[in-house]
Structure 1
């Protein structure tokens, strides 16, 4: 087949691999289409920060040779992707989205585990994508790279912190990407860009280095099938991550079929703090829940145990990590990243006792969150209570930047898997995400429910 750019942008990773297997397409054709897509789309989106065209072409040529010989390295051989700025990629500087690290960028001599697994499979690594400052804004705001924009509406943010990765997948530059999520940084951009985004259970996908017990890596894709295919690769064990759950080696994709009738779902309209749900978001999620009920799921509406202000200890606890990184820099360096510096600054007044009290408070949040799912198989709620906001803002206008995470960060604390999937659009065409949260380690169940929901929305 002859591959035109519009056709490439619509193709999933599964479709690309099938076309390689049938020899209808070659990895070299696909790599050229991906590079062309970057050239065409990135000036408007500001999603891609580094392109290794020469390296991508060399990887594609090697992949083509393997497919011709019938010996692909792995299930993703020849599939193009881009890596988030914060993920280590050998030889490429890591800024983590902040100008404060411009003179202090790490240049790794090794790959992080997800990057290493993709290389082993023969995926084509095109370059790197943007992220917000130190991964702590629910937007594409970056003092280093500038704002990343949403393909659905260039005046709106793509979400964060996996901002460039989500925008690149949504724009059809790549079929999938690896995101990272410490407070919602896979799920929230998935919601804002109309994608599937899975925050796996803690330890499911090995990471290195890891600066927080709440941080995970996981897939961003346009379909649940592609998310599962990517998870098959990046969930393989890595000795550098002591928390790695490297014992579950069965493929993830084949478990997504079958009936979900009888599944018990707790439906949460609001978490009780943060921003009030936008009417369009509330309506789209309610319709999504109705479709789940139509699949035979037993849906019970539940009330949140939280109220306004309960999130404050969580926000204060999360200030510590960026503050500790910025505090070792000069005032001149910090002055180049004023928004993240100002948000994290209160942590400079914490004592050791304060820090431990905040830690205990987050454990209280964790216990109350786990209580919501006790009588159910899954929780369903909006991924974000609001649609995408202005691209130039670090957070919702008039609110703390942390309010963007109100519907997601609790499930980082509990280490539960959570999947965001598109459930509709606002009148202006902005995507809306529905979040499916499972019991800890039930990543398969979350993928299966996501696939069932995807079929219901398509039917």
Structure 2
């Protein structure tokens, strides 16, 4: 797109008009956007067109259409966090832009609107009590994942090439896997976040391929003094670091971590084929025993229940019930004591320590991003009702603060994608992106065209 702007084969106005037309046609089906700012986007596109005509583009993304996840502050607009319990009139509009939103504007990106998300960012699903169901563009009877549900569904449906996701338990990687996209959870602190609410939360790119994800990361990781937990800024061009090889890399292979949903056969087959790609490319592969037992994730689920309950309890009891799934999920936490919560915090730190020990001696770990295929579209979680189990392969790497990326590793029946997760040593975002790009090349898997006619079955 940027090359076409430079050669004047396309203009930002033409592209923005096409994106707005696409939203009008497909958003009633997939429900990726809850707010569209057509006039503002077209004004920004005209300004971008003028800059390109004068040979003076603004930054790295001038004229590139994108969208902002509901949870991210965008000046003048409310934040619902996907929940009907959060009333826009009571909350009021955001008074400033989130750091990553500010960076997009500074680099000339065209913001089409705001995308949907699940309730309170804690469901691996497109279910939302505020926005309704967001559907998977590849098969609208299936789930698009969450919590960055609308952001991933928009890119998969061809509404812009990149968006920003946020990730506290897997909310970039889960929808990227379910929607056949690339989603990178950076090292904690790599992308400045404000307000900063957790030592597990990150913002990062969702894109159609690794190169676009790396380009967006170049913008998102620029410094912002509001995040006191941010890493020291490193002037790295991630797109220039993508040349590399899998040969000689030592990689630990995990079919799962030992808890959560069992690995489905269709996912196992695609993951096994991905492992073969690494082997054929010359990587040294070591099959690892899952490091955890079935109940080891319980402390983490309780820990996050308390986090969500703390958010809910800022609201009157009757209003809390407007978010029925999260309200029911957090019910048990109402009887927890502060001491019990601290014990669960220590439990998450024990998980963190054990998992960091697993990667010792390896360049990367690889495992399925999601142990299951996309479940029914309207489900808040697994088809059996479990809402936390879908996070089993992703949330531990938020605790360890390691960079982790999900890339497509194949498709199965009913037009459903499968994602491969590549996890690196702490702070090695360059290595993770390079390994992902090398896998992308070595696998030979084509980037599928956007679904022109969405499946309505």
* TM-score band w.r.t. shorter chain: over 0.9
Q: 2:180 aligns with which of 194, 211, 233?
A: 194
CA offsets 1:298-320 (integer angstroms, 9 cap, x no match)? 11110112111110001000112
Report if aligned partners of 1:48, 1:128 keep a CA contact under 8 Å in 2.
Answer: yes
2:34 is the alignment partner of 1:49:
yes
- Equivalent residue number for residue 12 of structure 1: none
Kindly report which structure 2 residues correspond to 1:155-304, keeping only aligned pairs within 5 A, or say none.
155-304=141-290
- Equivalent residue number for residue 102 of structure 2: 116
- Equivalent residue number for residue 338 of structure 2: 352
- Equivalent residue number for residue 83 of structure 2: 98
Report if aligned partners of 2:221, 2:233 keep a CA contact under 8 Å in 1.
Answer: no
2:53 is the alignment partner of 1:38:
no
- Equivalent residue number for residue 22 of structure 1: 7
Report if aligned partners of 1:198, 1:420 keep a CA contact under 8 Å in 2.
Answer: yes
CA distance in 1 between partners of 2:335 and 2:239 (Å)? 48
- Equivalent residue number for residue 407 of structure 1: 393
Q: CA deviation at 1:293?
A: 1.0
Q: CA deviation at 1:195?
A: 0.3
Say which is worse superposed, 45-54 or 394-403, in terms of deviation: 394-403
Gaps of 5+ in 2: 446-457
Report if aligned partners of 2:244, 2:435 keep a CA contact under 8 Å in 1.
Answer: no
CA distance in 2 between partners of 1:45 and 1:394 (Å)? 16
CA distance in 1 between partners of 2:420 and 2:105 (Å)? 32
CA distance in 2 between partners of 1:179 and 1:261 (Å)? 31
CA distance in 1 between partners of 2:377 and 2:111 (Å)? 27
- Equivalent residue number for residue 4 of structure 1: none
Q: 1:312 aligns with which of 283, 286, 298?
A: 298
2:443 is the alignment partner of 1:452:
no
CA distance in 2 between partners of 1:299 and 1:18 (Å)? 38
CA distance in 2 between partners of 1:259 and 1:160 (Å)? 32
SS for the counterpart of 2:252 is strand
Report the number of matched residues: 444
CA distance in 1 between partners of 2:398 and 2:68 (Å)? 22
CA distance in 2 between partners of 1:75 and 1:215 (Å)? 25
- Equivalent residue number for residue 325 of structure 1: 311
- Equivalent residue number for residue 9 of structure 1: none
TM-score, normalization: structure 2? 0.96
SS for the counterpart of 1:90 is coil
CA offsets 1:273-319 (integer angstroms, 9 cap, x no match)? 11110001011011001001111111111011211111000100011
CA distance in 2 between partners of 1:186 and 1:258 (Å)? 25
CA offsets 1:37-89 (integer angstroms, 9 cap, x no match)? 11111010011000000000000011111111111110100000010000011
- Equivalent residue number for residue 421 of structure 2: 435
Q: CA deviation at 1:238?
A: 0.3
CA offsets 1:353-404 (integer angstroms, 9 cap, x no match)? 1111111000000011111111200000000000000111100022420001
SS for the counterpart of 1:142 is coil
SS for the counterpart of 1:172 is coil
CA offsets 1:309-332 (integer angstroms, 9 cap, x no match)? 110001000112210111121122
2:139 is the alignment partner of 1:153:
yes
- Equivalent residue number for residue 65 of structure 2: 80
Gaps of 5+ in 1: 1-15
CA offsets 1:188-246 (integer angstroms, 9 cap, x no match)? 00000000000000000011112211110000000100000000001000000011124
Report if aligned partners of 1:102, 1:144 keep a CA contact under 8 Å in 2.
Answer: no
SS for the counterpart of 2:278 is helix
Q: CA deviation at 1:150?
A: 0.1
CA offsets 1:410-441 (integer angstroms, 9 cap, x no match)? 00000000000000112222000000000010
Q: CA deviation at 1:106?
A: 4.3
SS for the counterpart of 2:375 is coil
Kindly report which structure 2 residues correspond to 1:363-378, keeping only aligned pairs within 5 A, or say none.
363-378=349-364
SS for the counterpart of 1:149 is coil
SS for the counterpart of 2:414 is coil
Report if aligned partners of 1:235, 1:246 keep a CA contact under 8 Å in 2.
Answer: no
SS for the counterpart of 2:310 is helix
CA offsets 1:121-151 (integer angstroms, 9 cap, x no match)? 0100110000000000000110000010001
